[in-house]
Structure 1
């Protein structure tokens, strides 16, 4: 079942009754709204005047609903996660912490190979020359010691949007603002899936910044990034004004969890595919598999 994503950009009072999320608005002419909590996968809270009850938060956590809050720049800045995400969490975390360095390097090799491949597939869709990209896909070594991820990124960002001089950066020119928002949503989707698989999203296989609480999420979301890039490109093509993150643009980007992807030869929503990826990652940590399942960009 595809879980729903709710976005709250205006003042509201959020509570719960009879296993439903109840939305009450300060405007007298707006009717109260009710949504079954079991249908919810993600809730994005943007307006600082939103009030949410602890009873609702508890039910959302029990339902494994990701609650995302935004900062003054309207970008997702925090993610509410349960203390216990899986019945076998202790054992699964132990396998994760005991993963050998060669295993983690192999996982990173797989991850970067698929990321570059998916970037190349998106470039194919745009009729951009990809010979270098496919060459790099097959040259990625254990741990990506030759940094093919960086080489491919330079080529990719120079060509993908057709903007002369475009560089990817948190504070760069548009569409970086759209990419920042989209990647933040993707990061939350990834963290939710990892927690659901009983893994710690803070302990990565490659990323290891001590100030980053989502190192593993940043690792595993890499092959999924081209789906965000493709959505941003589609938004640009529909003549949206992209200098600001409007409600219309956010609405489009909040569809990321429901994007159809192909994984293991089958089509499924991105959020479902991410759960398959995170579970396959655990199987690698547990020693029952050597392959992380990632989607292939079509």
Structure 2
């Protein structure tokens, strides 16, 4: 399993050399085996990438993220048609009955709210927020018809970042910009995992946006979002816009953070694969109870039996 997240801040050229990523600029040259790489994030807008390299990235299921002039991730490149049962998987996705996805979505949202509560317990310890999140988790219904996710998110963000904070998808304020950056990195890795197993990321469980090619990726990454929220809380004094290099690297490194699934500790990158594998079982057996979802852990729990 690949594990490295390659951050390219400045490079004249990225190319392929003996199945290695070859990075060259005025000061030095670097090679990284493709088989070790999970994600490549390129910030330099002047960098040249060869088509041979891009084609090879697909063969190794490597996600390529490119950024704008403010260092915001703006595109994700993933392999197409690389799974041996691509049509079979696609037909499975198309044939899913609505009640299955409705129940599955309720499990996802319950776990997301539980992870948000865990983050509050580890950070602000705001008692009102903790109590409300516990209530909202219990109130989640099939398909989250009462929108406990949205209500919980508002309470959660106010309890974490202050009562005047408003979460915005497209915003250049310091906190929202940092959150968007981190969420994009998580979504890129989830998309990579889904592509590895032949899924069409446009067909979501709950998200059905006609303009989002990664509806399924954002559905399955929902319980992972609190990892980003927690990181940003611990670096609030360092935030600025554009986001500082050290924090950009830190957010990319969240893919190596520990998280719990089924009483085992995994790196986040590998935990996402466990989620995708369990999603396959959900579809195969038409039973949403097979889904495996991540639980945020405290640092002290990293010493437990693990897959790290």
Bucket of the pairwise TM-score, normalised by the shorter protein: over 0.9
CA distance in structure 1 between the aligned counterparts of 2:163 and 2:16, rounded to whole angstroms = 50
Please, which runs of 5 or more residues in structure 1 have no aligned partner? none
Please give the residue correspondences for 1:240-279 in structure 2 after superposition, counting only pairs within 5 Å.
Answer: 240-279=238-277
Larger CA deviation: 83-92 vs 106-115: 83-92
Shift of 1:289: 4.2
Please give the residue correspondences for 1:23-102 in structure 2 after superposition, counting only pairs within 5 Å.
Answer: 23-25=23-25, 27=26, 30-102=27-99
SS of 1:153 mapped into structure 2: helix
SS of 1:222 mapped into structure 2: helix
Shift of 1:232: 1.2
Residues 1:292 and 2:286 aligned together: no
RMSD: 1.4
Q: 4+ residue runs of structure 1 moved beyond 6 angstroms?
A: none
SS of 1:294 mapped into structure 2: coil
TM-score, length basis structure 1: 0.94
Higher helix share: 2
Please give the residue correspondences for 1:196-207 in structure 2 after superposition, counting only pairs within 5 Å.
Answer: 196-207=196-207
Contact 2:193 2:272 in 1 (8 A): yes
Contact 1:2 1:258 in 2 (8 A): no
Shift of 1:192: 0.8
Larger CA deviation: 110-119 vs 51-60: 51-60
> Which residue number corresponds to residue 22 of structure 2?
22
Contact 1:105 1:142 in 2 (8 A): yes
> Which residue number corresponds to residue 139 of structure 1?
139
Shift of 1:252: 0.8
TM-score, length basis structure 2: 0.91
Please, which runs of 5 or more residues in structure 2 have no aligned partner? 298-308
CA distance in structure 2 between the aligned counterparts of 1:215 and 1:209, rounded to whole angstroms = 7
Query: What do residues 110-135 of structure 1 show as CA deviations (whole Å, max 9, x unaligned)?
Result: 11111111101111112122112112
Query: What do residues 190-224 of structure 1 show as CA deviations (whole Å, max 9, x unaligned)?
Result: 11111112211111111111111111111111111
CA distance in structure 1 between the aligned counterparts of 2:94 and 2:69, rounded to whole angstroms = 36
> Which residue number corresponds to residue 167 of structure 2?
168
CA distance in structure 1 between the aligned counterparts of 2:82 and 2:131, rounded to whole angstroms = 42
Residues 1:159 and 2:159 aligned together: yes
> Which residue number corresponds to residue 106 of structure 2?
109
Contact 2:70 2:242 in 1 (8 A): no
Shift of 1:172: 5.8
Shift of 1:55: 1.4
CA distance in structure 1 between the aligned counterparts of 2:235 and 2:61, rounded to whole angstroms = 30
Residues 1:280 and 2:286 aligned together: no
CA distance in structure 1 between the aligned counterparts of 2:148 and 2:185, rounded to whole angstroms = 26
CA distance in structure 1 between the aligned counterparts of 2:102 and 2:157, rounded to whole angstroms = 25
Residues 1:119 and 2:116 aligned together: yes
Shift of 1:2: 5.3
CA distance in structure 2 between the aligned counterparts of 1:265 and 1:288, rounded to whole angstroms = 24
